[in-house]
Amino acid sequence: MPGLTGGTVASGEAHLALVIGCGGLGMGVARALGKHHPLLVVDIDAGRLTAAIEALRLEGYAASGFQCDITNPAQVGLLGDALSRRGGVRVLAHIAAIGNVANDWRQMMAVDLIGPHLIADAVEPYLLRGGVAIFVGSLAGYLPPPSKEIEKLLDEPLKPDFMEALAGLIGDQPKWFDTYAYAKLGVMRLAEKRAMKWGSSGVRALSISPGMIDSPMARAQGATLPSHDGADREVPRDEKAQEIPLGREGSMLEIISVLAFVASDAASFMNGIDLVVDGGHRAVWRDRGVISR
């Protein structure tokens, strides 16, 4: 059942940092944000969440957890109810996503795009002036060719016929990487749209798009990646990394440090943009004509 786990922070405390997802990157982000804010961490896996909160509290962080399936509107609604009893959200860091381990493009789209929209709607009433919502996109989000029809559809994933309409445009059984790319494009657009909507309330919204990052999620996706050279083939990750001007994959710490900066007052005029953290990979893709965004 969804709900709080692992203890709570005093209900009257403000300046909460809400972290969606407690995988490897989520825990790193929680530790960075927890230096300045009490934490509320959300995850679907009760056991993993309990262990994460116990670890954070043992390390001295003021942390609590909330079990929630972010693709379930009712459960996300309960998260909103829980937030109504807290002092407001200063930072929303939406990290949760799945890759090809899902083996189901609809499930991937639900977690990676519908989930962020549901969370944004639920958290919106509790975002504090001066706060920020940070969504994790991906360099892959730059791969889909421009299409106003598809982009309009990605902006409205909560419509009842969304999946069927998307399948009609991109194919009934899209490859996992194509699905991931469209979902992340939708997340980047979500951040941009919310920046315009929330700006008058003094709330920022933006996205951070990692390139090739050495992370547990990346490792779970396998040892190869699409070549993006016009051929329908995959290449080893280490070969793919040679496309990057810096000649290597990035680390989770290099993503976390950027997110922590964006969450701080030092970035108070950064809004409505996507920050690509990729070692220069996007520049190479643009130069080769792989992408046009």
pLDDT tens column, 205-232: 999 999 999 887 777 677 788 878 777 7
pLDDT at 59: 98
User: What is 3-288's CATH number?
Assistant: 3.40.50.720
Please name which of 57, 63, 55 lies closest in space to residue 39, comparing C-alpha atoms. Answer: 63
Percent pLDDT > 70 in the chain is 93
Average pLDDT over residues 153-178: 92
Lowest mean per-residue pLDDT among 56-60, 108-112, 168-172: 168-172
pLDDT at 101: 64
Please name which of 261, 124, 250 lies closest in space to residue 199, comparing C-alpha atoms. Answer: 124
pLDDT at 8: 38
Please name which of 217, 212, 222 lies closest in space to residue 242, comparing C-alpha atoms. Answer: 212
Angle at 137 between CA 41 and CA 20, to 5 degrees: 10
For tokens 């809004």, name the residue.
271
Retrieve residue 87's tokens: 């002092």
pTM given for the model: 0.93
Cα–Cα dist 85/290, whole Å:
48
Q: Does pLDDT of 185 surpass 80?
A: yes
pLDDT at 252: 96
CB under 8 Å to 52, separation ≥6 — which residues? 6, 22, 27, 30, 41, 43, 65
pLDDT at 102: 62
Q: Does pLDDT of 12 surpass 70?
A: no
How confident is residue 1, by pLDDT bands cut at 50, 70 and 90? very low
How confident is residue 11, by pLDDT bands cut at 50, 70 and 90? very low
At residue 201, the 3 state secondary structure works out as helix
Task: Give the C-alpha distances (Å, rounded to integers) separating 220 from 82, 214, 270.
Answer: 32, 11, 33
How confident is residue 130, by pLDDT bands cut at 50, 70 and 90? very high
User: Contact at 8 Å (CB) between 250 and 279?
Assistant: yes
Average model confidence (pLDDT) for the chain? 91
**Could you give phi then psi for residue 244, rounded to 5 degrees?**
-75, 130
Q: Does pLDDT of 7 surpass 50?
A: no
Highest mean pLDDT among 198-202, 221-225, 233-237: 198-202
User: Contact at 8 Å (CB) between 26 and 20?
Assistant: yes
User: Contact at 8 Å (CB) between 56 and 26?
Assistant: no
At residue 40, the 3 state secondary structure works out as strand
